[in-house]
Amino acid sequence: MCQNPSPGSNSNPNPSGEEQAREGKKQAQVQELARRLADGDVAARVQAARDIRKLARASAKARSAFAVPAVVQPLVSMLPSPDPEARESALLALLNLAVRNERNKDEIVKSGAVPHLIELLRSEIGSLRELATAAVLTLSASPSNKRTITSSGAVPLLVQILISGSIQGKVDAVTALYNLSTCKESPNLTLPVEAVKPLLILLKDSKKYSKFAEKAAALLEIISKTEEGWTSISEFDEGILTLVETIEEGSLLSTEYAVGVLFSLCRNCRAKYRELILKEGAIPGLLLLTVEGTNKAQARARELLDMLRDDSRPKRVVSKDLETIVYDIATRVDGPVKAPETAKKLLRDMVKRNMELSITRLQLRAASCTPKAPLI
């Protein structure tokens, strides 16, 4: 008969001598790098920061081991250094400590990094600006840091990166702004209207179902709630078309945000924007969205379809009425169990055919407008 093991016989055994040696070596390494950061000259501190970055990149355990005030605070104190090399090495070390480690993110912010990062966002050195953008992006992923970063004045500076930064800088700025927009303590984030053009360009060039498209569309929806915002969106060349394409091709979230923008335009000035939205062929995508979108997107699509209807004509079958008719047909064809799926397929086929006809009409119109080559 087997006997139960005595308490503690298999739980938390004492570490072996080899494990103790490894732990002791790790602690000695942390202490040595902390000493060099605190007492070394500029060159020694730069090298210590580079060593920390290298170790943090290689191991999650190293990221945790270096998340101590004796390491984090000296790195933060290097951020306002007059030496660009010191600033860059400290930024990279802090950035790698913060990646995939919420406790480190919070520790870095508590150590006073945010004001220094804001100054670096103003730097005339492009590489420092964009490293600071990446750092703000990483730190803003922690819910407890969002309010501190937003209240520091980061938003207009991130918009400047969005306008004039490199492609990677713009992508990081969009993600950082999106992170800040989800702060529950500051739900009404205000974005400058200058963000409209770069956001629409990025959305136009991105895959509409990507996570990045979701973030860009979400920020455009925020901007569309102001008069300056919806005016700027409507005046941008192919701005409305980009949103229509997002509704047709996007993920559940990006379509929800995109229809929210068009809904905002039409709700605030139907007489001005109705024809512009219709001109870009929004109806097929909106019809499909009434069936396949999120609950919020479906409701907005139905309301927008009603606003796009021509009141001077007898009421046409759109939105909810069309869904009911299609569902009734599907029920008669395949029975009530399969009706929802059949209805979706029928509606998709209708939308696809509508889009094909629209494309054909546009091609014929373009061909008729093409001037004939002169005879030679």
Model pLDDT for residues 144-196, shown as the tens digit of each residue = 999 999 999 999 999 999 999 999 999 999 999 999 998 877 667 889 999 99
Arithmetic mean of pLDDT over the chain:
84
Does an H or E element contain 212, and which? Answer: helix 211-223
pLDDT in tens, 112-148: 999 999 999 999 999 999 999 999 999 999 999 999 9
Torsion over CA: 101, 168, 57, 81 (sign): negative
Q: Would you say 179 and 214 are in contact if contact means Cβ atoms under 8 Å apart?
A: no
**Distance from the Cα of residue 3 to its chain's centroid:** 57
Whole-prediction pTM value? 0.78
pLDDT in tens, 56-65: 998 888 898 8
Q: What is the C-alpha R_g of the chain?
A: 28
> Where does residue 210 fall: left (phi above 0), alpha (psi -120 to 50 degrees), or beta otherwise?
beta
Q: Among residues 14, 106, 87, 29, which one has the least CA distance to residue 61?
A: 29
Compute the CA torsion angle 112, 113, 118, 120 (nearest 10 deg): 140
Q: Using the predicted structure, report yes or no on whether residue 201 has a pLDDT greater than 80.
A: yes
Strands (E), 199-315: none
